[in-house]
Amino acid sequence: MVYYDHGNNHCAYEVNSTKTEAGTRVIPMLTMARQALLKERENQKASGIRCKASIGGYTDFIFLNRFGYTMNNASINKVIRRIVRDYNDAQFLMAEDPDCKSEMIIVPMFSCHVLRHPYVKLTT
């Protein structure tokens, strides 16, 4: 899904196909990821949030704002920054605790753009 400027102060989302034929493929999903998506759907249902977006013939999106429309990149990046910041802050606080024996793992800042690459097949 891409946000395009169509001129005359009109921007809109569109769903594009992959750049190459090789880019169209089935990507396996971890059970934990599936469960998280189903949980998000349950949370939205409990909150009365229903998808109101229809983009390029696609509907029933999972990642929605509180009004039922798809989230924009800036909103997603803001959430990612907040999660990374809070996680890293907790890591620094644990590192200051003399009783803490766990190794500090810091998550680097990233944008939602990197989430477009969900699966990499490693070869040796």
* d(C-alpha 2, C-alpha 114), whole Å: 14
* d(C-alpha 51, C-alpha 120), whole Å: 30
Please report the pLDDT score of residue 119 as a whole number: 61
**Closest C-alpha to 1, from 12, 11, 15:** 15
Residue 25 CB contacts under 8 Å (≥ 6 apart), including other chains: none
The 3-class SS string of 4-40 reads EECCCCCEEEECCCCCCHHHCCCCCCCHHHHHHHHHH
Handedness of CA 18, 83, 89, 29 (dihedral sign): negative
Please report the pLDDT score of residue 124 as a whole number: 46
Please report the pLDDT score of residue 84 as a whole number: 96
Please report the pLDDT score of residue 120 as a whole number: 58
Tens-of-pLDDT digits for all 124 residues of the chain?
Answer: 888 888 888 888 888 888 888 888 887 888 998 999 999 999 999 999 999 999 989 999 998 999 999 988 888 999 999 999 999 999 999 888 888 777 889 999 999 888 877 665 554 4
User: 15-38 burial by CB neighbour count: b if 16+ within 10 A, else e?
Assistant: eeeeeeeeeeeeeeeeeeeeeeee
* d(C-alpha 90, C-alpha 92), whole Å: 5
Residue 19 φ/ψ, nearest 5 degrees: -65, -40
